[in-house]
């Protein structure tokens, strides 16, 4: 397998990769992203629809496992493999002391409304923390929710930090970014459910809210929670009972509770268990 050596900071590809690693606007405009590490590289290899244009290795640090994975990606995806000095690799890599493999990946196309409007979904209203955003995507995928939607002003879901927190779940869900609440209300065929500590029904004591078709859980940012606009658009509101003396739950934890409560209710109903 031919590996192409790059030694200069002035190389156009190096400049491009640096911007993809650091500039959310640039990666959105280019429709491409960088992933780093063995696990994420294995994930994109397992998804035949994910397009990889380049594999980047660190000349002095890449393990045999990373080099072998690079060759598999080149064979399966038609990607070119580039080898950089450790210094040059580190100037691009979003991970300190990584294992020496990155990939430039094409951002999946935004799905049509018909592809997602009748499925269970998760809506992130103003969630800006990258770690939370990635964990929310991972939790959604684990709970069988295949649609993740963000409001304008929420974190870009394709940045390196969000991708690391998502652990590859990005490629198992459909992602729609920058959808205002009013558009969600118009485009989504199911019911909008708010997770809101300020009021509504007790999540664990409420009647089965999953029996009437698809649902979209709406989660707000840390601190302010759901916006007034989002709350006004919801069909139902639920709060999670927590022990006395604890003020609140992290948004990613709260979302996991809601998503898996929905999954549990459907499993019990399908099994005929009251």
What Å distances lie between residue 212 and 92, 115, 206, 238, CA to CA?
A: 48, 19, 14, 16
Cα–Cα distance measured from residue 129 to residue 80, given in angstroms and rounded to the nearest whole number: 33
Q: Is the Cα dihedral 61, 66, 72, 77 positive or negative?
A: negative
C-beta of residue 36 within 8 angstroms of C-beta of residue 160? yes
pTM of the model: 0.93
- 78 sits in which H/E element: none
Cα–Cα distance measured from residue 165 to residue 101, given in angstroms and rounded to the nearest whole number: 17
Q: Picking from 3-12, 46-55, 207-216, 241-250, which range would have the lowest pLDDT averaged per residue?
A: 241-250
pLDDT at residue 245 in the model: 87
Q: Which candidate, 218, 19, 242, places its Cα nearest to that of 136?
A: 218
pLDDT digits (tens, 9 = 90+) for 120-131: 999 999 999 999
pLDDT at residue 57 in the model: 96
Secondary structure class of 9 (helix, strand, coil): coil
Residue 274's pLDDT band (boundaries 50, 70, 90)?
low
pLDDT at residue 247 in the model: 82
pLDDT at residue 165 in the model: 96
pLDDT at residue 1 in the model: 67
pLDDT digits (tens, 9 = 90+) for 181-221: 999 999 999 999 999 988 899 999 999 999 989 999 999 99
pLDDT digits (tens, 9 = 90+) for 85-120: 999 999 999 777 678 999 999 999 999 999 999 999
Largest CA distance in the chain: 66
pLDDT at residue 103 in the model: 97
Q: Name the percent of the chain lying above pLDDT 70.
A: 99
Structure tokens at 162: 């969000």
Residue 246's pLDDT band (boundaries 50, 70, 90)?
confident
Domains of the chain: 3-106 (3.30.1330.30), 113-270 (3.40.1280.10)
The secondary structure of residue 112, as a DSSP letter, is P
Strands (E), the chain: 3-6, 32-36, 52-58, 80-84, 101-106, 121-125, 147-150, 174-176, 191-195, 201-202, 215-220, 236-239
pLDDT at residue 160 in the model: 92
> What's the length of the chain?
274
């Amino acid at each position: 397998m031919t590996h192409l050596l790059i030694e200069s900071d002035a190389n156009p590809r190096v400049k491009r990769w640096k911007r993809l690693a650091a500039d959310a606007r640039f990666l959105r405009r280019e429709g491409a992203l960088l992933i780093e590490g063995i696990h994420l590289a294995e994930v994109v290899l397992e998804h035949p629809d994910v397009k990889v244009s380049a594999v980047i290795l660190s000349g002095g640090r890449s393990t045999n496992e990373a080099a072998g994975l690079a060759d598999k990606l080149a064979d399966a995806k038609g990607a070119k493999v580039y080898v950089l000095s450790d210094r040059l690799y580190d100037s691009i890599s979003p991970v300190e002391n990584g294992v020496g493999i990155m990939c430039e990946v094409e951002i999946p196309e935004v799905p049509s409304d018909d592809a997602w409007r009748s499925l269970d979904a998760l809506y992130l209203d103003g969630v800006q923390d990258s770690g939370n955003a990635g964990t929310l995507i991972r939790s959604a995928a684990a709970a069988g929710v295949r649609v993740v939607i963000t409001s304008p002003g929420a974190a870009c879901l394709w940045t390196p930090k969000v991708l690391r927190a998502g652990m590859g779940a990005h490629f198992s869900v459909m992602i729609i970014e920058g959808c205002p609440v009013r558009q969600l209300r118009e485009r989504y065929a199911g019911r909008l459910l708010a997770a809101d500590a300020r009021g509504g029904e007790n999540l664990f004591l409420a009647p089965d809210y999953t029996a009437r078709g698809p649902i979209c859980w709406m989660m707000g940012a840390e601190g302010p929670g759901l916006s007034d606009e989002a709350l006004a658009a919801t069909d139902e509101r639920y709060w999670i009972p927590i022990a006395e003396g604890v003020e609140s739950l992290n948004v990613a934890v709260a979302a996991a509770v809601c998503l898996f409560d929905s999954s549990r209710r459907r499993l019990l109903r399908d099994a005929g268990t009251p």
